[in-house]
Amino acid sequence: MFSPKRLFGSDARQVSVTEPLVLGRCNIASYQVQALRYNLVDFEVAGRRQSDGYFLVYEVSADNCSYHLQQQRTAFYVRDGSPDPSDRKGKVPQGDGVAAPRWHKCDRLWPVLDGQPYSFVGQGYYQSMVVYLFRLPSTTGEALAIFHDDVDRQDAEEHYRLEDRAWRDKQS
């Protein structure tokens, strides 16, 4: 059974997890991505005892390799023990979902590790979530990063544009 050494950006001890609940599966390029929810019972994080909680893990499989990606300290899900990527600042273009991410305007995060940007692999969908998979080849294997978002979420710009359109329709 998978048991994390870090939770929510801090060292974790005495973690008891339930069997994972599969939230969904999708294929992105040659990778199979499975979203898992682990419920936590009686654990310690950053020296404080907790009675319950949960965390998400993305299990990414390809070419007989399997990676467990979870959040450490950033919005990205990465392998336990690997360095956390930062995100590229500035405007990242809207893509088509295949060659470049197709995402909400306010949540364009692109992982960068030591100044090296990851490559976009693709995006997939499960339930109401969209998952963006990135990869960074290295001499010690590949680094993977996942960022997810709610498909149906409306950012502030979209909200006000729809509200304005509804008001104009009412006036005519």
**How many CB atoms sit inside 10 A of residue 72's CB?**
21
pLDDT value for 162: 72
Local structure of residue 99 (DSSP, 8 states): S
Residues in CB range of 70: below 8 A, 6 or more apart: 4, 6, 55, 56, 57, 58, 77, 78, 80
Residue 159: per-residue pLDDT: 62
Residues β-bridged to residue 34: 25, 59
pLDDT tens string 75-134: 899 987 788 888 886 677 778 888 888 887 666 789 999 889 999 999 999 888 899 999
Choose between 152 and 100: higher pLDDT. 100
Residue with tokens 């005519």: 172
pLDDT (mean) for 19-46: 89
Q: Average of pLDDT values for 24-38?
A: 93
The answer on pLDDT for 140 being more than 70 is: no
Lowest mean pLDDT among 52-61, 112-121, 132-141: 132-141
